[in-house]
Chain A
Amino acid sequence: MNPLRDPRDARLPRVAGPCAVVLFGVTGDLSRKKIMPAIYDLANRGLLPPGFALVGFARREWAHEDFAQEVHDSVREHARTPFSEVVWRQLSQGIRFVAGDLTDPEAFAELRTTLAALDAERGTVGNHAFYLSIPPGLFPTVVSQIERSGLAERPVGAWRRVVVEKPFGHDLASAQELDAVLSSVFSPDEIFRIDHYLGKETVQNILAVRFANEMFEPLWNSRYVDNIQITQAEDIGIGGRAGYYDGIGAARDVIQNHLLQLLALTAMDEPLSFAPEQVRQEKEKVLAAITVPREIDAHTARGQYAAGWQGGIPVPGYLDEAGIPPDSTTETFAAIRLDIDNRRWAGVPFYLRTGKRLGRRVTEVAVIFKRAPHLPFASSSVTELSDNALVFRIQPDEGITLRFGSKVPGVAGMEVRDVTMDFQYGDSFVDTSPEAYERLILDVLLGEPPLFPQAREVDMSWSILDPILDRWAEEGQPDAYASGGWGPASAYEMIARDGRTWRRP
Chain B
Amino acid sequence: MIRLEDTSGHDIAAAIASERHRMGSPTTGMVLTLLILTDEEFQADATAAAVASAREHPMRILTMVPRPGGDINRIDADISVGGDDGPGEVAVMRLRGDRSSHANSVAIPLLLPDTPVVAWWPGAAPKDVATDPIGMHAERRITDVSSRPDPLAELAIRRENYHAGDTDLSWTRITNWRSTLAAMMDRPVGTPESIVVEGHRHNASPILLAAWLSWALDVPAAVRPTDESGISSVSVNTTDGPLTISRPDGSMALVEAPGMPASPVALPRRPLHELIAEDLRRLTPDEIYAEALRTVPRVTIGNELD
A422 touches B185 (CB 8 A): no
Q: Once bound together, how far apart are the Cα atoms of A426 and B88, in whole Å?
A: 10
A42-50, A58-66, A71-79: which lies at the B interface? A42-50
Residues of B within 8 A of A44 (CB): 266
Per-residue interface assignment for chain B, residues 209 to 234, with 1 indicating a CB less than 8 Å from any chain A CB and 0 otherwise: 00001001110000000000000000
Q: Once bound together, how far apart are the Cα atoms of A424 and B216, in whole Å?
A: 39
Q: Give the contact-size bracket for chain B.
A: 35 or more
The residue on A at minimum CB distance from B54 is A427
Our pick among A11, A125, A424 for the contact of B286 (Cβ within 8 Å) is A11
Q: Once bound together, how far apart are the Cα atoms of A397 and B154, in whole Å?
A: 43
Q: Once bound together, how far apart are the Cα atoms of A256 and B89, in whole Å?
A: 43
B260 touches A421 (CB 8 A): no
B261 touches A120 (CB 8 A): yes
Residues of A within 8 A of B122 (CB): none
Interface residue? B115 (CB, 8 A): no
Interface residue? A51 (CB, 8 A): yes
Interface residue? B278 (CB, 8 A): yes
The residue on A at minimum CB distance from B188 is A157
Q: Once bound together, how far apart are the Cα atoms of A51 and B80, in whole Å?
A: 46
Residues of B within 8 A of A43 (CB): 266
A13 touches B179 (CB 8 A): yes
Residues of B within 8 A of A10 (CB): 281-282, 284, 286
Residue among B86, B265, B277, B278 with most chain A CB within 10 A: B265
Interface residue? A89 (CB, 8 A): yes
What number of residue pairs across chains A and B have CB atoms under 8 A from each other? 113
A46 touches B288 (CB 8 A): no
A123 touches B260 (CB 8 A): yes
Overall SS of chain A's interface: loop
The residue on A at minimum CB distance from B288 is A9
Interface residue? B178 (CB, 8 A): yes
With A3-B217, A86-B251, A421-B27: A431-B55 Cβ-Cβ less than 8 Å: yes
A50 touches B57 (CB 8 A): no
With A11-B175, A50-B265, A421-B27: A426-B182 Cβ-Cβ less than 8 Å: no
Our pick among A9, A84, A423 for the contact of B266 (Cβ within 8 Å) is A84
**Which of chain A's residues 1-40 have a Cβ closer than 8 Å to chain B?**
2-6, 8-13, 15, 17-18
Q: Once bound together, how far apart are the Cα atoms of A479 and B55, in whole Å?
A: 44
A12 touches B266 (CB 8 A): no
A12 touches B178 (CB 8 A): yes
B216 touches A11 (CB 8 A): no
Interface residue? B23 (CB, 8 A): no
Our pick among A4, A17, A87, A122 for the contact of B181 (Cβ within 8 Å) is A4
Residues of B within 8 A of A433 (CB): 56
With A46-B180, A49-B183, A86-B251: A4-B58 Cβ-Cβ less than 8 Å: no
Our pick among A3, A17, A423 for the contact of B29 (Cβ within 8 Å) is A423
Q: Once bound together, how far apart are the Cα atoms of A84 and B218, in whole Å?
A: 36
**Which of chain B's residues 271-286 have a Cβ closer than 8 Å to chain A?**
277-278, 281-282, 284, 286
The residue on B at minimum CB distance from A121 is B261
The residue on B at minimum CB distance from A421 is B27
Q: Once bound together, how far apart are the Cα atoms of A13 and B281, in whole Å?
A: 12
A15 touches B182 (CB 8 A): yes
Per-residue interface assignment for chain B, residues 271 to 306, with 1 indicating a CB less than 8 Å from any chain A CB and 0 otherwise: 000000110011010111000000000000000000
B187 touches A427 (CB 8 A): no
Our pick among B57, B87, B252 for the contact of A86 (Cβ within 8 Å) is B252
With A6-B288, A87-B266, A427-B58: A15-B183 Cβ-Cβ less than 8 Å: yes
Residues of A within 8 A of B255 (CB): 50
Q: Once bound together, how far apart are the Cα atoms of A431 and B52, in whole Å?
A: 12
B264 touches A422 (CB 8 A): no
A427 touches B87 (CB 8 A): yes
A426 touches B57 (CB 8 A): yes
Q: Once bound together, how far apart are the Cα atoms of A122 and B255, in whole Å?
A: 11
Residue among B176, B186, B213 with most chain A CB within 10 A: B186
Q: Once bound together, how far apart are the Cα atoms of A266 and B119, in whole Å?
A: 38
Interface residue? B268 (CB, 8 A): yes
Residues of B within 8 A of A213 (CB): none
Residues of A within 8 A of B252 (CB): 86, 89-90
**Which of chain B's residues 30-50 have a Cβ closer than 8 Å to chain A?**
none
- Besides the known contacts A2-B182, A423-B29, 18 further A-B residue pairs in the complex with CB atoms under 8 A apart: A2-B186, A3-B192, A5-B186, A10-B286, A12-B179, A13-B179, A15-B179, A15-B186, A18-B187, A49-B186, A50-B255, A51-B260, A86-B268, A120-B261, A122-B263, A426-B57, A432-B56, A433-B56
A to B CB contacts below 8 Å, 17 in the list:
A2-B182, A2-B186, A3-B216, A3-B218, A4-B178, A6-B288, A10-B281, A12-B178, A12-B179, A43-B266, A46-B176, A46-B266, A50-B263, A93-B264, A122-B261, A123-B260, A422-B29
